[in-house]
Structure 1
Amino acid sequence: MRRIALAFCLAGVAALGGCANPIYRTDVFKAQLTAPYTLASGDRIRVIVFGQDALSNSYAINGSGMISMPLIGDVPVGGLTTADAQRVVETKLRGGFLRDPHIAIEVEAYRPFFVLGEITTAGQYPFINGMTVQKAIAVAGGFGPRADRGSAAITRMVNGVQVTARVPLAYPVRPGDTVNIEERFF
């Protein structure tokens, strides 16, 4: 009987110890921090076709990962870097429309990120370079009264799979992330 009581006591201490020091799983996202940015639905890109003002414009990437350009129609750019998207557009324009097209593509507006949970104003917010979890919380109006102020959970698409990890407040947020501030236990 003493062994069972001791086992329950040790399990309780271990569980409470886990509450005091959250385990961060930033290793799940580590490779993405240095990887080049890939375009996705919700991004807006600026395509500049040198010498062709009628083709130069801003294009929103639709839910299928496509932009729709004059002359060449739908162009798949979702999942590509801006350099890769540039090559795809150049290839399509070279296919019977322009002899030697020169293209530049840049991200004009990143897809939004989301903040949920124990904060003042949950919702969707425009992404700004240099965004961290702490800045995302500030943009959303700050912590709610029952918020866990030590860490957050970020949900992100990694190689086509949705992954959630607990991260510190200084951790970078990427476009399309969902930041969830959980309720504290005590």
Structure 2
Amino acid sequence: MKNYQFNPGKNLFRKGAKASFLVVMPLIFLLLTFLFSCNYPTTPQIETSPYPGKKEPGSPPASEENIGEFFQKKATNLTFPSEHKEKEYEVGPEDVLEITVWDHEDLKREVVVSREGVFSYPLIGTVSANGLTIEKLEQEITKRLAGKYIIDPQVTVIVKEYKSKKVFVLGEVGGSGKGPGTYPLTGKTSLIEILTLAGGPTKDAGSEVIIIRPRNRSSNPVTLEQVGKEDQVIRVNLRKLLEGDTSQNLYLEPNDTVYLPRAAYFYVYGQVKNPGKYNLEKDTTVLKAITTAGGATEKAAVNRTKVVREREGKKEERRIELTAPVEPEDIIIVPESFF
């Protein structure tokens, strides 16, 4: 027969440990369930591509999408030459005109409009042409020749050289020839038309075009450093224009300066689908930069994103908010999640 010795302290300890275990385990389970089911409260949702790792239809990767190549593909769709453009041109000083009268070869003349806006023509003498459209000028010469000198004259005026109205193009242009310089306005001329004349943006051009419209007429281009208080500065998003926003395809005015700055860049590395170098667009945030790089991968810890930024010649790495603006040459790093 075995002897059983009753030990109240030992039995009480066992009962207490068992009770503690039964209380603690459900709490641990609830805590783990909560951690795995909740989202980080301050992390905005990253836009992800429906084509992971692949090019979206109609959207070439950034490495192929520099503004110069994009311009050459799209610009022709936004140029609509008017059949009446030449007739709508307003004559000005220094323009060279060719005037012919049908069946009167002796009246064919090439004339230069003077600084005062006039020129001399056989039979009718001085003609004031400044501010007249080509169509109105033809009507004026016809009126003065008719009856007194010629019965029913058929007058044609052609602009041989456009010299009275011009614009200046500076910066990153000349992607397919030509380049910075002075270009004539041959009537109502759009931004796309002038950029096309200049050869289009280079591969290093940015997406922003700056148009400087001086208040006082200037025979020389005006740089950003020379802009006066009364001068108008217009900024155009060329990429949006080429994508179809024709409201930005402005008509230029005489003595406008069109400036295409060199593109600014940023870099995205780490847990994104398409790491690399990208053009810095206006108002780009860290969140938009990650989206531009294809979005975050499944392993990304987006809320721990860092930026490497140069300050006073030294590169510094620090955490950054997803809503913070991206600066030129920023290196954005999306780390891997621990879980």
TM > 0.5 fold call: yes
Letter of the 2:210 partner, please give it.
Answer: A
Question: For residue 150 of structure 1, what is the aligned residue in structure 2?
Answer: 208
1:63 alignment partner, SS class:
coil
Question: How far apart are 1:154 and its partner, in Å?
Answer: 5.1
Q: Using a 3 Å threshold, how does the CA distance of structure 1 residues 108 and 179 change in structure 2: closer, same or farther?
A: same
Residue by residue, what CA displacement relative to the aligned partner does 1:143-164 show, whole Å, maximum 9, x if unpaired? 79x986402215389xxxxx84
8 Å CA contact retained: 2:91, 2:133: yes
**1:21-170 alignment, distance < 5 Å:** 36-94=88-146, 96-111=148-163, 113-115=166-168, 117-118=170-171, 123-126=181-184, 132-133=190-191, 136-137=194-195, 149-153=207-211, 155=213, 164=232, 166=234, 167-169=236-238
Letter of the 2:99 partner, please give it.
Answer: V
TM-score, length-scaled by structure 2: 0.34
Q: 1:180 aligns with which of 255, 258, 264?
A: 258
Letter of the 1:181 partner, please give it.
Answer: Y
Q: Using a 3 Å threshold, how does the CA distance of structure 1 residues 106 and 172 change in structure 2: closer, same or farther?
A: farther
Structure 1 or 2, whichever has the larger Rg, is: 2
Question: How far apart are 1:85 and its partner, in Å?
Answer: 0.7
How many residue pairs were aligned?
Answer: 150
Q: Using a 3 Å threshold, how does the CA distance of structure 1 residues 93 and 173 change in structure 2: closer, same or farther?
A: same
C-alpha distance in 1 between matches for 2:112 and 2:232: 27
Unaligned residue ranges in structure 1 (runs of 5+): 1-32, 158-162
TM-score, length-scaled by structure 1: 0.55
Letter of the 2:93 partner, please give it.
Answer: S
C-alpha distance in 2 between matches for 1:40 and 1:168: 32
Unaligned residue ranges in structure 2 (runs of 5+): 1-81, 174-178, 216-230, 242-248, 265-327, 329-339
8 Å CA contact retained: 1:67, 1:76: yes
C-alpha distance in 1 between matches for 2:253 and 2:162: 6
- Higher relative CO (Cα under 8 Å, sequence separation at least 6) belongs to 1
C-alpha distance in 1 between matches for 2:91 and 2:182: 18
Question: How far apart are 1:88 and its partner, in Å?
Answer: 0.9
Q: More strand per residue: 1 or 2?
A: 1
